[in-house]
Amino acid sequence: MIDVEDLIALVRNYNPRTNADLIRQAYAYGLKMHDGQLRKSGEPYFTHPVAVAAILTEQMLDDATIVTALLHDTIEDTKSTYTEVERLFGHDVAELVDGVTKLTNLQLSSGAAEQAENFRKLFMAMSKDLRVILVKLADRLHNMRTIKSMPPEKQARKSRETMDIYAPLAGRMGMQWMREELEDLGFRVLNPEARNSIIRRFLTLQKESGDVVHQITADIRTELERGKIEADVYGRAKKPFSIWRKMQEKDLAFSRLSDIYGFRIICQDMGDCYRILGLIHQRWRAVPGRFKDYISQPKSNGYRSIHTSVSGRDGKRVEVQIRTREMHEVAEAGVAAHWAYREGVRAKNPFAVDPGKWIAQLTERLNEGDHDEFMENVKLEMYSDQVFCFSPKGDVVQLPRGATPLDYAYAIHTRIGNSCVSAKIDGIRVPLWTRLKNGQSVEIITAEGQRPQSSWIDIVSTGRAKAAIRRSLREEDRGRFVKLGQELARAAFDHVGRKATDKALRTAAKMLGLGDETELLARLGSAELTARKVLETLYPELSTSQKDEVDTQRPVIGLGADQTFKRAQCCQPVPGERIVGITYPGRGVIVHAIDCRALEELEEQPARWVDLHWQSGRHAPAYSVTLDVAISNDAGVLGRICTVIGEQKANISDLKFSERKPDFYRLLIDVDLRDVEHFHMVMTALEAETDVAQVARVRNVTRKP
């Protein structure tokens, strides 16, 4: 583990005016809070926050971010609180630590509706202070570097989440080095055979052709000396995952890949960039269609560089990137360059992007539409590169790679897109599905009365265009789709012995993030939503998979060999909920939900707290939860309610009438459940019933624990 003075020395390398005492205080506090906690590898847990802080020093970040890294797990995993962190380290640090804690709790690889909502929260946290995501990315990077100590199943899950979410996000923020390392670490877990195969082929290639990187680097330096230009030259073979992805995209064997080497030339000023480009193209033949000038047309995250591919020594195709030192700093740190410190003050890099403007651009239009359209926007923003096109007046329009004239039209205005009939590229009429290229001039031709066609969905690439087309199609055919949706819903519900009541459909619409049941029916009729999806949303047991059974005698992890446990009656925790144990003399350990109000009076007795969590797997339905249910006072209603609960494979262990009125009954029903997912299944099924006016979980701190 890095010593506190060594960590301070890393910060002082770029910030001599650092508040060393603050870092020492945070280091000591984090060490104390995490005392006794171990990582899966057996190392002290605090080695992780220190390593995260060290990663952030490589980006030359400010003291508040370094301190946040040291404390980022204290509120989540220790007895520390927001109030205490704020008192000791100030409001700025407390907000950052709280933001990282909230990000840690987001399940970004969950179901579509929940994932969309969690991505919204992610972007909200980023818009509040982008340093939150910088700490989270460093946290994920260190976890991936040490992932071998985790169980194989968790390794695979974390690696997939890293490849799908965190690596693209790092790339979207301009931190390409982090994206490449995260992808390579994930690739090592998810497809080790493919990675090892590529590495072996590289070694074979080096034996056959020698050290190509060294040879070409020397050739480039010779050309720079002839041109009397001072610059640094770096060369490397591309990462295994980058090569594998290219092999998959182009369906090529390794032997047919040409541009597997990359070279970077870092010079003094912008004029040198273009002079070096001339020298490179004079010495080697340029590859058509592989030139990009991100200096004259920067990426939205501040990235500037000239990219060109040439046929180098022995005809080997190589990529060359040319940029200045200031551009290189932004290329390495991306949006994080805004916070970079040098000589004790924030570095004024003219190419660093203002995070406020960047995040506003990133999240523009992301709040429009439903969760499917939202996720489409998110993925396009995170995963796609850009092309730059010109309007007839010379204005620049940025679009993702693969965009068409229709995307261009909708980028200008929804009205232009909806009324588009054809387009011209560089003065020549082209089909609407033509893929745009950098530097092309695009003219859109419109006509009154034109309406979007359903086939346009498959033509466009941007989330904005897809959302606008779907919205227009829904408005035009809404009545027809609602009628068709009603028939589809009725048939699907009848098939599983349920009724497609207005209340059931309203509940499903709410769970899917839609406005109301009419919107749900319209989407059913337009095939944007399947009836099966609606049924599984209301009744998850229709798609529940079987898991390994958990021993009912020992369902929690963290107890001593001689410790017994009981569930607290005040909060009645069930598997899947975060829990904590409290020791009681002569009674063993009482398990409480982490948000139980009864814990407030025990905050000053930390010695009695036991860190617990539930065993993973399928639990038996042995955890009683009390439900407060209000139902209509009609014949047969109580029987139907009991049947609904039974259909969810839940047993009623007790039932009491708490209130009797002429028009309704209020009941307290004790239901035996497996876990929190089973609990939500029962709640959803009850809420969907027409005769249930209200249902709520009973938690009572006056009950004895």
Instruction: Identify whether 76 is a catalytic site residue.
Output: yes
Q: Which of 43, 77, 117, 332 is catalytic?
A: 77
Quick one: pLDDT at residue 402? Answer: 83
Quick one: pLDDT at residue 546? Answer: 45
Strands 588-593 and 565-567: parallel
CA dihedral 146, 150, 152, 157 (to 10 degrees): -80
Range with lowest mean pLDDT among 124-133, 181-190, 630-639? 124-133
Instruction: Identify whether 77 is a catalytic site residue.
Output: yes
Residue 660 one-letter amino acid: R
CB–CB of 463/376 below 8 Å? yes
Distance CA 639, CA 625 (A): 20
Residue scoring higher pLDDT (617 or 608): 608
Contacts of residue 356, defined as CB under 8 A and 6 or more positions apart, other chains included, come to none
Give the rounded distance of the alpha carbon of 456 from its chain centre.
29
Same CATH topology for 193-342 and 550-705? no
Assigned CATH for 4-190:
1.10.3210.10
Distance CA 397, CA 409 (A): 10
Residue scoring higher pLDDT (135 or 332): 135
Name the DSSP letter for residue 110. S
Strands 609-611 and 579-584: antiparallel
Q: At what angle do helices 112-128 and 371-383 cross, to 10 degrees?
A: 60
Quick one: pLDDT at residue 282? Answer: 92
Quick one: pLDDT at residue 322? Answer: 96
Name the DSSP letter for residue 590. E
Domain boundaries along the sequence of the chain: 4-190, 193-342, 550-705
Residue 293 bridge partners (DSSP):
306
% of the chain beyond a pLDDT of 70? 87
Closest alpha carbon to 133 in 372, 334, 302: 334
Contacts 24+ apart (CB under 8 A), 468-473: 468/410, 468/414, 468/417, 468/418, 469/417, 470/369, 470/373, 470/528, 471/369, 472/418, 473/526
First-to-last alpha carbon distance for the chain, in angstroms, is 41
Q: Which of 35, 63, 73, 76 is catalytic?
A: 76
Quick one: pLDDT at residue 349? Answer: 79
Instruction: Kindly report, residue by residue over 37-63, the tens digit of the pLDDT.
Output: 998 888 999 999 999 999 999 988 899
Quick one: pLDDT at residue 545? Answer: 47
| Phi/psi of residue 316, nearest 5 degrees | -75, 130
Structure token digits, residue 351: 């190419």
Instruction: Kindly report, residue by residue over 431-488, the tens digit of the pLDDT.
Output: 998 998 877 889 999 998 888 887 898 888 887 788 888 888 777 767 777 887 888 8
Distance CA 170, CA 11 (A): 22
Residue 55 one-letter amino acid: I
Domain boundaries 193-342, CATH class: alpha beta
Structure token digits, residue 629: 């249910």
Quick one: pLDDT at residue 363? Answer: 60
- Using a 10 angstrom Cβ sphere, with 0-12 exposed, 13-18 middle and 19 or more buried, the burial of residue 336 is buried
Q: Is the pLDDT of residue 107 over 70?
A: no
Average pLDDT score over the chain: 84
Question: CA torsion sign, 201 to 205 to 211 to 215?
Answer: negative
CB–CB of 420/412 below 8 Å? no
Assigned CATH for 550-705:
3.30.70.260
CA 455 to each of CA 183, 206, 284, 460, 479: distance values in angstroms, whole numbers, following the listed order = 35, 49, 44, 9, 20
Contacts of residue 122, defined as CB under 8 A and 6 or more positions apart, other chains included, come to 103, 106, 108, 133
Quick one: pLDDT at residue 573? Answer: 93
Instruction: Kindly report, residue by residue over 214-228, the tens digit of the pLDDT.
Output: 888 999 999 999 999
Range with lowest mean pLDDT among 1-15, 659-673, 677-691? 677-691
